[in-house]
Amino acid sequence: MEWIIKLVITCILGLLAVVDFKKKQVSNVFLLIVSAIVFVNYVIFRPITIINLIGGVIVGVVLLGISYVTRQKIGVGDGLLVMILGAYLGFEVIGFLLLYALTLSAIWSGLLLMIKKVNKHYTIAFIPFIFAGYVGVLIHG
């Protein structure tokens, strides 16, 4: 059953990544679906401790705070998605996911700047990197 949940979340994250990349928007419907899956998964299977769940959620709350302070330089949708995934994966794994995502987004941004495709004020979609980070933590366990 666990692999089905992972597959469904992976597919939804893939869809969110495509939409974010093309339109720089996050679908609230997909966020609600992932939230519902995470909630049901936790109630039925209890895959992580409550402390680990809360720690994962706090990471997303911190991103939401950064979004507010920076006037949405980091999107609210990104923070909400990290909060939801933090509840699913727990504190440690969401940390690794963000490490992957931030590293990949920094490399991508650097490449875009070096080839002069963008300037320093250009914004990039972050959910594709969250998706890549999620796939990374699935592969590495």
- pLDDT confidence of residue 119: 87
Cα diameter, the chain? 50
The answer for residues whose C-beta is within 8 angstroms of residue 123's C-beta and 6 or more apart is 24, 73
* Mean pLDDT computed over 47-74: 96
Percent of the chain exceeding pLDDT 90 equals 91
Q: Is the pLDDT of residue 10 over 90?
A: yes
Which of 47 and 86 is assigned the larger pLDDT?
A: 86
pLDDT-derived band at 121 (thresholds 50, 70, 90) equals: confident
Question: Where do we find the tokens 């727990």?
Answer: 90
**What pTM was computed for the model?**
0.94
Note down the domain range covering 70: 2-140
- pLDDT confidence of residue 44: 94
User: What letter would DSSP give residue 101?
Assistant: H
* Mean pLDDT computed over 82-104: 98
CA distances from 138 to 25, 57, 112 (A): 25, 19, 28
**pLDDT, mean over the chain:** 96
- For the packed helices 28-45 and 2-23, what is the interaxial angle rounded to 10 degrees? 160
Number of domains, the chain:
1
* Mean pLDDT computed over 31-46: 96
* Mean pLDDT computed over 89-95: 98
- pLDDT confidence of residue 37: 97
User: Considering Cα of 64, then 60, then 29, then 140, what sign does the dihedral take?
Assistant: positive
CA distance 104 to 97: 11
- pLDDT confidence of residue 69: 97
Q: Which amino acid is at 89?
A: L
